Amino acid sequence: LKAELDTVYRDSVPSFITVKKWAVEFKRGRTSLTVDGHSGQQMILDDCRIKIREIAEADSHGIVFIDYLKKGKTITEVHIGHYVSLIDKLKVEITNKMAAFEEVLFQDNAPSHTSTVAMAKIYELQFELIDHSPYSLDLIPSDIFCFLGSKFDSENRDFHRTSTRISRIEKNIHIVNCLLEVDHQLIPATTTRILLNHFKWDKEKLMERFYDGDQEKLFAEARVINPFRKGPLISRSRSSQSSLVNPKRPTNGTEECGICFMILPSSMMTGLECGHRFCTGCWGEYLTTKIMEEGVGQTIACAAHACDILVDDASVMRLVKDSKVKLKYQHLITNSFVECNRLLRWCPSPDCNNAIKVQYVEARPVTCKCGHIFCFHCGENWHDPVKCHLLRKWIKKCDDDSETSNWIAANTKECPKCNVTIEKDGGCNHMVCKNQNCKTEFCWVCLGPWEPHGSSWYNCNRYDEEEAKVARDAQEKSRSALQRYLFYCNRYMNHMQSLKFESKLYASVKEKMEEMQQHNMSWIEVQFLKKAVDILCSCRQTLMYTYVFAYYVKKNNQSVIFEDNQKDLESATECLSEYLERDITSENLADIKQKVQDKYRYCDSRRKVLLEHVHEGYEKEWWDYKE
């Protein structure tokens, strides 16, 4: 494996020991590349030729500066000062050579790089760093790209500011702009943004359509004026007819606004490429209404009647004066960009404006900077072991009236005449419909008219065995389905409620930890409480979704094993919860600590066993589902 890595990456890192360590980890079943940390020891390459080759390779990728520590050189204040001065030079070089690109500083955690002086200079120049594990596929140079103001980790990428997301959009527009040209003329960036939005930000599809020869049709479908047009301007209309735009302008330098009908100086009038001109005040009011009240951003049409040409971004930012409206417009544009990009998803947490970017789409947990963990595929809270499509069915089932219908079918009957639903609240089988327009008297047992029953007030002598069996079977089926749903729903809701309560344990645990530290215990010694609460909440969340899985899965031998694992985890989780709710004093601290540590380790191991069994079932197709 070491030889293969050296061949592929053309260098001698990582070392054989590192490769052996990670190979052992992966063979043991580890899948995550994230680790708690590493020593940060600087790696010195023996062969200077390797350095030269790497510098040449970096230069071909646009990397303008690499800082190497010479072999055997001790890091001193002089070296740190030299590194800080090089960072200043780096900023100048980037400005001169790569002005069209965003900036990223990628460095390891060598002392000279992470010193207080160096970090102060990095923040002063507005560089931001990539957090990474010591050996991660995320560190392949060709895969690393980020934008000023963004935050990264090795699992996902958070676009945590509107300016950062706008930067991401501008980069896409710049890339496409460099590829779309006619007779060496580039398409305006604002037009490119509208075209990209029309194709849901699919650059390949846009370029394919652009070069198929029918560019006029492309621009017409995207509702923009062809920037390469020749001849008179034809205004596109939402009606079936088009009209030649040739606005009449008075010779005295004034024009009439088509919205407010005021005669104003031409300097106060403005318009789009379609030729329709209105005063700047009316344009501002029109755009503000569209953005703030209608929530329209990327598809605002010209203010002229029946003209469907879209207003470009530059015009919006020029005509709108209110900064709040501009910010809302930028948010609407970025929202369209995020929703159209399958590798991006908004964080579903309330009051969070972050968007998460991943390398590939799959059902996996991602963690936002706000702390919320959710499934990237469906956007719900992370729901292992149940799959996304089953969770959607469950949520829909809980939200709609399907179980209300089951209860009605199991506990009520319909009047045989007017079909009003009736609930029996007594033992007598003689029923009278309460509908004032009906008042039909009938038998609860056979639903037939009551008169032929004679004096048989409590026993129906017109009982039809075959009809009654059908009705009884249908009612029993509805009652059984209701009871089964309530069984799983009650346990699902119970763990959800317990999870909410135990999430509040963090506050009380923090108080206990602070109190214990005041009694001569170190910070490390009291961390077992926080660890226990973390595992308790993870177990609660897993148990909550196991009941969704159990509701849909059909019974077989493997489902019996699953239920045993579920029962074992549930019992251990309740025991751990009980331990954490006890009062911890200096007298019982040692005993409680040992019990809590033993129990949370057991809970964590049983949770992993349960999940591994379910995932193995997915791979080997053990599970069949109920409709």
| Whether residue 504 has pLDDT greater than 80 | no
Higher pLDDT, 35 or 537: 537
Average of pLDDT values for 103-121? 66
**What are the pLDDT digits (tens) for 322-354?**
888 988 888 888 887 788 777 888 888 887 878
- Same domain for 352 and 487, yes or no, is no
Instruction: Supply the pLDDT for residue 245.
Output: 44
pLDDT of 135 > 50? The answer is: no
3-state secondary structure at position 523: coil
* Three-class DSSP category at 432: strand
Between 162 and 256, name the one with better pLDDT.
Answer: 256
Q: How many CB atoms lie within 10 A of CB 214?
A: 11
- When pLDDT is averaged across residues 373-378 and rounded to a whole number, the result is 90
Does one domain contain both 497 and 403?
yes
**Assigned domain for 333 exists:** no
Q: Is position 236 within any domain?
A: no
Looking at the structure, tell me whether residues 408 and 350 fall in a common domain: no
Cα 609 to Cα 37, 56, 450, 573, distances in angstroms: 26, 49, 61, 14
Per-residue model confidence (pLDDT) at position 78: 61
Residue type present at position 542: T
Q: Record the pTM.
A: 0.56
Given a cut of 70, whether residue 528 has pLDDT beyond it is yes
Do 398 and 348 fall within a single domain? no
Please report where in the chains the tokens 């026993």 appear, as a residue. Answer: 459
Catalytic residues, by residue number, are 428
More confident residue, 368 or 123: 368
The verdict on whether omega for the bond into residue 14 sits within 30 degrees of 0, i.e. cis, is yes
pLDDT of residue 136: 37
Q: Is residue 211 part of a domain?
A: no
Tell me whether residue 468 is in a domain: yes
Q: How confident is the model at residue 132 (pLDDT cuts 50, 70, 90)?
A: very low
Select the more confidently predicted residue: 543 or 154.
543
Structural domain of 449: 388-620
Residue 352 and residue 480 share a domain: no
pLDDT band at 98 (very low <50, low <70, confident <90, very high): low
Q: Which of 305-314, 337-346, 586-595 has the lowest mean pLDDT?
A: 586-595
d(C-alpha 331, C-alpha 297), whole Å: 8
Within-domain flag for 61: yes
The reply to whether 357 and 480 lie within a common domain is no
Residue 52 pLDDT grade (very low, low, confident, very high; cuts 50, 70, 90): low
- Would you say residue 208 lies in a domain? no
Reported confidence tier of residue 523, pLDDT bands at 50, 70, 90: confident
Other CB atoms within a 10 A radius of the CB of residue 206 amount to: 22
| Nearest-angstrom CA–CA distance, 368 and 346 | 9
More confident residue, 212 or 110: 212
284: in domain: no
Q: Considering only CA atoms, which of 552, 566, 553 is closest in space to residue 397?
A: 552
The first and second tokens of residue 591, run together, are 């005993």
Average pLDDT of 484-505?
A: 84
Could you report the per-residue pLDDT of 195-211, keeping only the tens digit for each? 888 888 777 788 888 87
Average pLDDT value for residue range 542-550? 94
Q: Cα 40–44–46 angle (5° rounding)?
A: 160
Rounded average pLDDT over 256-282: 89
Q: How confident is the model at residue 167 (pLDDT cuts 50, 70, 90)?
A: low
Total domains in the fold of the chain: 3
Whole-angstrom distance between the N-terminal and C-terminal Cα of the chain?
47
What pLDDT is attached to residue 422? 83
Q: Is the pLDDT of residue 383 over 90?
A: yes
- Beta-carbon contacts of 13 under 8 Å, excluding residues fewer than 6 positions away, are 43, 45
Within-domain flag for 23: yes
Q: For residues 433 and 353, state if they share a domain.
A: no
* Residue finishing a domain among 125, 147, 167: 125
pLDDT (0 to 100) of residue 180: 56
DSSP-assigned states of every residue in 191-234? HHHHHHHHTTT-HHHHHHHHTTS-HHHHHHHHT---TT--SS-E
Instruction: Say if residue 184's pLDDT is above 50.
Output: no
- Tokens 């191991």 identify what position? 605
The whole-angstrom separation of Cα 199 and Cα 300 is 17
In terms of domains, do 508 and 367 share one? Answer: no
Question: Given pLDDT bands bounded at 50, 70 and 90, which one contains residue 92?
Answer: confident
More confident call, 302 vs 232: 302
Question: Helix, strand or coil for residue 498?
Answer: helix
- Report pLDDT for 153: 32
> Omega before 385 cis (within 30°)?
yes
**Domain closes at, from 69, 99, 125:** 125
Q: What is the DSSP letter of 75?
A: P
98, 125, 152: which is the final residue of a domain? 125
Query: Same structural domain for residues 359 and 394?
Result: no
pLDDT higher than threshold 70 for residue 550 = yes
pLDDT value at 70 more than 70: no
CA atoms within 13 A on the CB side of 248: 4
pLDDT of residue 345: 86
Residues 414 and 360 in one domain: no
| CATH number, domain containing residue 531 | 1.20.120.1750
Please give the DSSP secondary-structure letter assigned to residue 74. Answer: P
Which token pair is 307?
Answer: 């003209």
Tell me what the pLDDT averaged over the chain comes to. 74
Q: Is residue 359 domain-shared with residue 454, that is, in the same domain?
A: no
Euclidean distance between CA atoms 151 and 162, whole angstroms:
13
- Among 92-106, 236-250, 503-517, 567-581, name the one with the lowest average pLDDT: 236-250
Strand partners, 270: 278
- Answer for the pair 365, 456: CB distance below 8 angstroms, yes or no: no
Higher-pLDDT residue of 290, 28: 290
- What percent of the chain has a predicted confidence (pLDDT) above 90? 15
Residues 495 and 432 in one domain: yes
